[in-house]
Structure 1
Amino acid sequence: MLGTLIVGLLVGLAARRLHPAGRVVTLPAALVLGAAGAAAAFYSGRALHWFVDGQLGSWLAVIAGAALLVGFWGTVRPRGR
């Protein structure tokens, strides 16, 4: 679980930096969304019996879940200036 959250935080930071629209997600939001996306992907994959702990598929799901949630949030959130 700790590894999942750490990877989620790191991927959240990377997704914030590499977002095509620039840095549209704040740093705290990127950290929280990265961790939440990683946890959601990990636990939903386990619940659907797609993988078990420690398999390569679980790490790929964690990375994809974190990046997709941060990217999605940066795309749909309102930009009031």
Structure 2
Amino acid sequence: MLGTLIVGLLVGLSARQMHPAGRVVSLPAALVLGMAGAAAGFYGGRALHLFIDGQLSGWLAAILGAALLVGVWGALRPRHG
């Protein structure tokens, strides 16, 4: 669990930096969204029996979930200015 959240923090921060529209997601939001996306990807994939604990695909699902959630959030949030 702790490893998944740490991966989410790191991927959320990376996704914020690499977002094509620039830094459109605040730092706290990127960190929280990264953790939520990593947890959703990891536990969602495990619930669907796509992998079991200890497989590399679980970490890949966590990374993908975190990056997607931060990216989608940045794309859908309204722009000011």
The answer for unaligned runs of 5 or more in structure 2 is: none
Which residue in 1 is equivalent to 2:69? 69
Deviation of the 1:80 alpha carbon: 2.0
**AA in 1 matched with 2:58:** S
TM-score by length of structure 1 reads 0.97
Which residue in 1 is equivalent to 2:59? 59
- Whether 1:10 aligns to 2:10 is yes
**AA in 2 matched with 1:5:** L
Which residue in 1 is equivalent to 2:41? 41
Deviation of the 1:53 alpha carbon: 1.2
Which residue in 2 is equivalent to 1:31? 31
CA distance in 1, matches of 2:80, 2:53: 41
Q: Deviations over 1:27-79 (max 9, x none)?
A: 00000000000000111101000011120100000000000000000000011
TM-score by length of structure 2 reads 0.97
CA distance in 2, matches of 1:21, 1:47: 33
Percent identity between the two aligned chains = 78
**AA in 2 matched with 1:44:** G
CA distance in 1, matches of 2:31, 2:69: 11
CA distance in 1, matches of 2:79, 2:44: 31
CA RMSD of aligned residues (A): 0.6
The answer for unaligned runs of 5 or more in structure 1 is: none
